[in-house]
Chain A
Amino acid sequence: MSSNGSPSQIAEGTEQAEDRQKAANAAPQLQDVLRHTCPSPAGPRVLSTFRNILDRDSCDLVWVTKEWRPQQVTLHARTRTTAKIRQDVISSPKMQHTIEQQLSSQNEVPKEALWRELNDILIEMGHTQTMPVVRWFGYVLSKIMRKIYSGVFVNEESIARLRASIGNNPVIFMPSHRSYADFLLMSYVCFHYNIMLPVIAAGMDFVSMWGVGRLLRDSGAFFIRRSFGNDKLYWAAFSEYVQTLITAGENPIEFFVEGTRSRTAKSLCPKLGLLSVALEPYLTGQVSDIVVVPINISYDRTLEETLYSYELLGVPKPKESTSGLFKALNVLDEQYGRIHIDFTEPISVNKFFGDLRSPKLMRPLHLPHQITPDESTRIIWLANYVVRQQQKNAVISLFSLAAVVITHHVLTKPRNQLLNMHQLTRQVASLKSAAESFGALIDCRDNLEVSLQNALHIHKSLIVTSKDGQVQVKNVAAAQAPIDPAKMKGHSLQDKTLQVGVPMVMLQHYVNQTLHLFICPAIVSLSVQQSINQGSGMKDDVFARYLFLRTLLSHEFILHKAWETMDFEQSIQQLQKLGVLDESLHDSMKLSLGSNSHLHQILCQLLLPFLAGYSSACSTMLEVPAGKTVSLNEALKSTQARLEKLLLSAQLNHHYSLSLDLLTAAVNSLSSMGAVIKNKENGKVLYSPNSNRLRQVTQIVGDFLQLVAPICRKSQDEQARLFITQAKARL
């Protein structure tokens, strides 16, 4: 342990300490709430309850033209026309107040202009769900999905559960967001099961796409600008629009609590804005309850996998355009395996918030609701809970496990040692049983070997198996047209870096799909190892180290504070069962490593790219001279440059550290730990180091990295052997 400070001291930073204390005080009570709210479903989840909805008796044409009598979200809710909804928003007391009393008089803008602007905003925003369009779209989708997917599997048990819990209160669907396909899938599933089609909150980027905007609008999407800062009128219009949808309860509302597609396949930290707006009608007593349904959509293979890879490395994302979409249609030639959809246990917001609901009833409804600190804490909790539920109900593909094994092999084994199919199967099998003991449902329908081969086959563009059973990673990076450095979001990486980087990041995409299972056990394993190395091994000491890592990675993974003790205890139990930690201890307060060092190594290695990236981010920030500030972009660029140097000089060998998402999370994390200070100047966010703290953090992160790095210290040249160098470019 470094002399600069123990992890526990760091974790309990100045402002943080208070928050933590508060959370700790609130925790038991909230745990209670949760326990009562969400009884875990009886029995373990099984694949047999999933049914392929593409596999149906009627032909697509009969299917899309079936009589439409959906199950209502709330009784007596009447479907409003688009114009009526717009009228309702405009005539709502809140809108009237905002325009007449606030904006007009404060800014001395004529009211008429504001009303016109509002009308424009609403036209831009509004959905126009029309069944004929939905039907035709459904028809086309059926055809496409049949072509590229081998099945869309829906957990019918969860559908039954959903059906039972709707009918009285507004419903919010919150699916996980990994792909554009998510937008369409939910409506497709609802149509199939005769559930009222959701109205979907979508980003404005689609609107500019010719035809597509219209199409999405007609199938029930409404559009929200990505950022509207201080535009009060827009904010009011948007929140009133969402709230009228909630209070009227005619359709389920669907939005992605992660805010945007996760390029990394890990769950993003939930965004609270839209959720808070959607919950306001409940908090102010306009509806008696809201049913929140977290939904997991698991893809065997993500449509955008290559695109994401480039994007994470900083190669710019092409602007959404219809022609781009057609270009992307060549994805239709490929196979993308299965999709699994699971509606998780519906959450009653009233049961979640019941004790807090004391609306300021003396306030008339037209005044905006001020969310209290208690409410806000609870909303964060709910959002995290939703994401966790999504994760818990994932169906993990065998390829994800294979990706873990392959990555581990690439990073740890010398050049002359290739991975063969036999080894892979064996290691996947052991990893599978580990994952299952962490509660995962693994998509393995036949015997493992066949399933694994099928899974690899779907990803044949990334992983190839030679005839003699050798498993290799393809180099998928294209010799790109030279990219205008000005367009690069990050540092201009060398071709050499990209060639290994792109497939590695793609592989990590699938590794990431499993990380929610492994992250806590991995943190605990590493903490135990470090604690033992430092001569302690006491549970308290391990916990302190665990807390530090957890805080550090809290922008990377869903690690809500309130669950820290629960997660810790659970992880220890699971690790003991798996033999990673020694079970046969007499002293319950002392932990030590068990016999399963292979799994221990895999777990620790999973943390490598993160620790490496974070460590570099620390170093970069340390170099910022006192009194100077950097923008996020500058920080990212120089960190990437630093990492590239490390990669080229073989001091580091995992290219995922270059991920801009990872590095952004690192900066955010340092900022919330108080190691860097966030300033806003002229609307720009700038960062400056808080030297003492930053040095402490850097030291501790470095210590952890030291433990992980040797497991996989191999030079890049050696690894490169695993890649087929002349693979065809695909992008």
Chain B
Amino acid sequence: MGTAESTVRDDDNRLFRGHSHILDDITHLRSKKIGKIERVADVVIWPGCHGDVVGISTTEHSVLKRYQFDFCSICDPNKLRMIARRLTTANENNRKSSGSIPLKRQELLKWHGWGYKDTKVIVTQRGKLFITSNRYPLVKISQVSLKVREWIQQVWGIDLYEVENIPEPPENPDISNFPDPFLESEFLDGLLTLQIVYSTDGEDRFFRSHGQAMSDIMNARRYQIARLPDLVVWPNSHEDVVKIVDLSNKCNIVIIPFGGGTNVTSAVTCNPNEIRMIVSLDTSQMNQILWLDKRNLTVCVQSGITGRDLEEQLFREGFTTGHDPDSLEFSSVGGWVSTRASGMKKNRYGNIEDLVVHIRFVTAVGVLEKESRGPRISCGIDFNQIILGSEGTLGVITEVCLKVRPLPQLQVYASFVFPDFETGVKFTHDVAMKNIQPASLRLMDNMQFRMGLIMKEEQTFIGEIVDKLKLTALRAIANINEDEMSFAVAVFEGFKDEVAINKVKIEKLVVKYGGVSAGAKNGERGYLLTSTIGYMRDICLNLGMLSDSFETSVPWDRVLQLCKNVKSVVAEESKEKGLKHLSVCCRVTQVYDTGACVYFYFAFNAAGVADALRVYEQIESRARDEAIACGGNISHHHGVGQKRRKWVPRQISPTAVGLYSAIKKTLDPNNVFAVQNIVLPAEITSSKL
């Protein structure tokens, strides 16, 4: 090898092959220039996005600092950039993920929507719907019936028999638009010393700049994200996190914890005015079960493990946490804790706050944890409660100890229809009054029930006749009308006899309220549909619809009125904004003794609507105002994020906002965790506590 330049050229091919080669080459290269460098493994190059090299550094400042830019100057910048990109790639590829989520999420997951890359809904001629993977077998193929087609046409102004080749965003984002990262060399040096994997790649940063709220996705599709994180870092352990937080605190860097990325509250959105470097701390590689204690029914996990990975591993051991949110495949345990998540089967297992036994929480001033594995402790204020729902603003959750239960002997689905939504709600209320909740119980209103019919298997001729007969029978015998009825689904879990008794009780009550059983399969489909709802949302977006969900929790005496009023306000507001095709539907999705969680879906056809996204946000905001005015609250399980901050002071009192600000200032004096969730920044600064 002659000059440095020729080395690079000659070895272009070799550079692909791996880590060590590159490093060798660079060592070689560097040795030529500097002549006396021995330790080369720590050399690193910062690439910029637009063909420039930002800088080079090593951990041994004393040796190399002086030379780093000399090195740049002797190289062709284009080639160096190439080296740099491959270096980072190789660096990451070298670390194969031990969990189901790879470092490069974009390889598995969509950048422009919900879920797996290989899974999307396709509409073919005459209203056939396919899901392009085998992940959701029960709803894989469906056929939109003529009747549903007509209805959809009327409600959304879309003819599902005519749509074909729906335009889709490209598989990979257009990387030319990403701004350069802003990098703090001291911090990078630190990371290097700690040997923690990171990336400044545009796609990586872009992927972690947004959550799954419809507005987030729309903004991502249009590349209208004001600020990307500057760097993504993948710690492996609690210790890594402690070091990263320490370093950030020292270097005045911002950390935004990133778990499953399934938030729908814009909870990872970077502050566009932030002048410091922003690091997205991706916990996906902290995905190990640390231990399972079968005798004490507890499991200790790293916070980045996804629900699916955790449940699969526990299943093999014969256990379950029973925590089952719709986002289970992607969302992480840390995310659950920090947003106060709720699982579908909370009636049997509890919500996340009931499941948590112990949390390790890394803050800028130290680790917060409770030294007790006992089932309960009375030791003053329970500080777990400030970790639960902290939404990444106070620190990073690294390890969580959860309750587990042995797998249930039996799991049975069921479904029921009621004459209308009102009787359905009365039924669910009565279930709560009698305290006979199945593991899960949901009640959909007529509109949502009909939406569900979109994803229905193709009927054979005989099947159609049977269906018609069933409907006629319903109308004749039970006086249930297809256009008014509501639809409930339930899951029973437990020992055989336990399930049987519970089922009988429920069925009796169903009869009391004029309902009729609709079979187990419909029940299971009902639940599966909710885990594909994200994919449905995306196809809606592709079809030019805007649609999203919002939820609230409300005492029983106001459930019906809240549903009615919110729908009415949405309709009114839409009328005012000139929307022609829209749907708003709801379901009672959690049943508590004292009230219920109500979940709304709102969708409208954005064709011809100016600034549709803003229109959507305005209507949703109005709807939430109304929900709150009707006795509902800001959120049942989605959390606050940056979307719902304006309602917080009214919801929890200004005193509580002051208290939060005081906690924030104490735990995070340098505002490392500067993601502006929960409370508007102005309210923190103005607080006097």
- Assuming the contacts A168-B571, A365-B557, A366-B557, asked whether A288 and B565 have C-beta atoms less than 8 A apart, the reply is yes
Determine how close the nearest CB of chain A comes to the CB of B336; give it in whole angstroms: 28
**A110 at interface (Cβ–Cβ under 8 A)?**
no
Question: Of residues A75, A286, A289, which shows the largest number of chain B Cβ atoms within 10 Å of its Cβ?
Answer: A286
Interface residue stretch chosen among B125-133, B626-634, B639-647 = B626-634
Residues of B within 8 A of A285 (CB): 558, 561-562, 565, 629-631
How far is B558's CA from A169's CA once the two chains are assembled, in angstroms? 17
Q: Within 8 Å CB of A74, what residues of B?
A: 568
Interface residues of B in 534-588 (CB under 8 A from A): 555, 557-558, 561-562, 564-566, 568-569, 571-572, 575
> Who on chain A is nearest to B557 by CB?
A365
* A93 vs B556: C-alpha distance when bound (angstroms): 12
CA distance A168 to B575 in the complex (A): 10
**A357, B629: Cβ atoms closer than 8 Å:** yes
> A364 an interface residue at 8 Å Cβ cutoff?
yes
Are A289 and B557 also in contact (CB < 8 A) when A359-B629, A359-B631, A361-B631 are? no
Give the number of A-B contacts (CB < 8 Å). 48
Residues of A within 8 A of B572 (CB): 168-169, 288-289
Residue on A nearest B566 in the bound complex, by CB: A288
Q: How far is the CB of B636 from chain A (nearest CB, A)?
A: 15
Q: Is A247 close to B, CB under 8 A?
A: yes
Known: A168-B575, A288-B626. A247 touches B561 (CB 8 A): yes
The chain B residue with its CB closest to the CB of A247 is: B561
> From residue 336 to 384 of chain A, which have CB atoms closer than 8 A to chain B?
357-359, 361, 364-366
Residue of B nearest to A359 (CB): B629
Interface residues of A, CB < 8 Å — how many?
A: 18
A360 to B129, CA, bound (A): 48
**A288 touching B569, Cβ below 8 Å:** yes
Residues on B with C-beta less than 8 A from A358 are: 629, 650
The CA of A287 and the CA of B629, in the complex, are separated in Å by 9
CB 8 Å contact bits of B77-117 with A (1 = contact, 0 = none) = 00000000000000000000000000000000000000000
Bound-state Cα–Cα, A287 to B631, Å? 11
CA distance A713 to B631 in the complex (A): 65
**Which residue of the partner chain A has the closest CB to B561?**
A286
- Give the residues in chain B near A286, CB-CB below 8 Å: 558, 561, 565, 630
Interface string of A606-646 (1 = CB under 8 A from B): 00000000000000000000000000000000000000000
Chain B residues with CB under 8 A of A75: 571
Partner of A168, one of B555, B558, B568: B568
**Chain B residues in 8 Å Cβ range of A366:** 557
CB proximity of B564 to chain A, nearest CB, Å: 8
Closest residue on chain B to residue A164 by CB atoms: B575
Whether the Cβ atoms of B555 and A364 lie closer than 8 Å is yes
For residues 573 through 609 of chain B, which have their beta carbon under 8 Å from a beta carbon of chain A? Answer: 575
User: In the complex the two chains form, what is the Cα distance from A641 to B51 in whole Å?
Assistant: 104
Determine if B569 and A364 form an interchain contact, defined as CB atoms under 8 angstroms apart.
no
Nearest-neighbor residue (CB-CB) of B630 within chain A: A285
- Nearest chain B CB to A7's CB is how many angstroms away? 44
- The CA of A723 and the CA of B52, in the complex, are separated in Å by 106
Query: Contacts of B558 on A, CB cut-off 8 Å?
Result: 285-286, 365
Residues in A with CB closer than 8 Å to B562 are 285
A361, B647: Cα distance in complex, Å: 15
A93 neighbours in B (Cβ, 8 Å): 557
Q: Which residues of A contact B628 (CB under 8 A)?
A: 361
State the CA gap A75–B557 with chains docked (Å): 22
Residue-wise, chain A 276-320 has the 8 Å CB interface mask toward B (1 for contact) of: 000000000111110000000000000000000000000000000
Q: How large is the interface on B (under 10, 10 to 19, 20 to 34, 35 or more residues)?
A: 10 to 19
Structural contact, A169 and B568, CB atoms closer than 8 A: yes
Q: Quick one: closest B residue to A93, CB to CB?
A: B557
| Per-residue interface assignment for chain A, residues 86 to 105, with 1 indicating a CB less than 8 Å from any chain B CB and 0 otherwise | 00000001000000000000
Provide the bound-state CA to CA distance between A5 and B78, in Å. 93
CB distance from B179 to the nearest CB of A (A): 41
Q: Is the CB of A287 within 8 A of B561?
A: yes
Most A Cβ at <10 Å: residue of B558, B564, B629 = B629
B234 CB to nearest chain A CB (Å): 44
Tell me the minimal C-beta distance from A78 to chain B in angstroms.
Answer: 9
B372 to chain A, nearest CB (A): 34
Return chain B residues, CB-CB under 8 Å to A361.
628, 631
Q: Give the chain A neighbours of B564 by CB distance below 8 A.
A: 287
A364 pairs with B557, CB closer than 8 A: yes
Tell whether, in the assembled complex, residue A289 and residue B569 are in contact, meaning their CB atoms are under 8 Å apart.
yes
What is the chain B residue whose CB lies nearest that of A77? B564
What separation, in Å, do the CA atoms of A168 and B557 have in the docked complex? 22
Report how far A367 CA is from B55 CA in the complex, Å: 69
Chain A 145-174, CB within 8 Å of chain B: the 1/0 string?
A: 000000000000000000000001100000
Q: In the complex, what residue of chain A is closest to B565 when comparing beta carbons?
A: A288
Give the most central of B558, B564, B626: most A CB within 10 Å.
Answer: B564
Provide the bound-state CA to CA distance between A364 and B562, in Å: 14
Q: Give the residues from 93 to 126 in chain A that come closer than 8 angstroms, CB to CB, to chain B.
A: 93
In the complex, A359→B629 CA distance in Å? 7
| Chain A 163-204: CB-based contact to B (< 8 A → 1; otherwise 0) | 000001100000000000000000000000000000000000
Interface centre among A169, A357, A361, A366 (most CB of B within 10 A): A361
Whether A287 lies near B565 (C-beta < 8 A) is yes
Given A168-B568, A168-B575, A169-B568: A288 and B557 within 8 A (CB)?
A: no
- Whether A288 lies near B630 (C-beta < 8 A) is yes
From B626, which residue of chain A is reached at the shortest CB distance?
A288
Q: Give complex CA distance A74, B571 in Å.
A: 11
Contacts of B626 in A (CB 8 A): 288
Residues of B within 8 A of A288 (CB): 565-566, 568-569, 572, 626, 629-630
Which residues of B sit under 8 angstroms from A365, Cβ to Cβ?
557-558
B550 to chain A, nearest CB (A): 16
Residue of B nearest to A283 (CB): B629
In the complex, A93→B429 CA distance in Å? 15
The CA of A358 and the CA of B625, in the complex, are separated in Å by 10
Nearest CB in chain B: distance from A351 CB, A: 11
Instruction: Find the A residue at minimum CB distance from B650.
Output: A358
CA distance A358 to B564 in the complex (A): 19
**A287–B626 CA distance with the chains assembled, in angstroms:** 9
User: Residue of A at shortest CB range from B569?
Assistant: A288
Task: Name which residue of chain B comes closest to A363, CB basis.
Answer: B631
Contacts of B631 in A (CB 8 A): 285, 359, 361
Q: Which of A285, A359, A364, A365 has the most CB of B within 10 A?
A: A285
In the complex, A288 Cα to B557 Cα: how many Å? 16
B568 CB to nearest chain A CB (Å): 5
Q: Closest approach, in angstroms, between the C-beta of A494 and any C-beta of chain B?
A: 61
Closest residue on chain B to residue A291 by CB atoms: B572
Question: Inside 8 A of B561's CB, which chain A residues have their CB?
Answer: 247, 285-287
Task: With a 10 A CB-CB cut-off, give which of B565, B569, B628 has the most chain A CB atoms.
Answer: B565
Task: Specify which chain A residues have a CB less than 8 angstroms from the CB of B566 in the assembled complex.
Answer: 288
| Cβ-closest chain A residue relative to B572 | A168
Report the bound CA distance from A365 to B562 in whole Å.
13
- Nearest CB of B to A280, in Å: 13
Specify the chain B residue showing the minimal Cβ separation from A287.
B565
A89 to chain B, nearest CB (A): 16
| Least distance between A402 CB and chain B CB atoms (Å) | 45
Restricting to A45-87, which residues have a CB under 8 Å from any CB of B? Answer: 74-75
Q: What are the 9 A-B residue pairs with the smallest beta carbon separation, nearest first?
A: A288-B565, A285-B630, A288-B569, A285-B629, A365-B557, A168-B572, A361-B631, A286-B561, A168-B568
**What is B's interface to A at a CB cutoff of 8 Å?**
555, 557-558, 561-562, 564-566, 568-569, 571-572, 575, 626, 628-631, 650
Q: A168-B571, A288-B572, A361-B631 are in contact. List 5 more A-B contacts (CB 8 A).
A: A169-B572, A247-B561, A285-B558, A289-B568, A289-B569
Q: List 22 A-B contacts (CB under 8 A).
A: A74-B568, A168-B568, A285-B565, A285-B629, A285-B630, A286-B561, A286-B630, A287-B561, A287-B564, A287-B568, A288-B568, A288-B569, A288-B572, A289-B568, A289-B569, A357-B629, A358-B629, A361-B628, A364-B555, A364-B557, A365-B557, A366-B557
Q: A residues engaging B (CB < 8 A)?
A: 74-75, 93, 168-169, 247, 285-289, 357-359, 361, 364-366
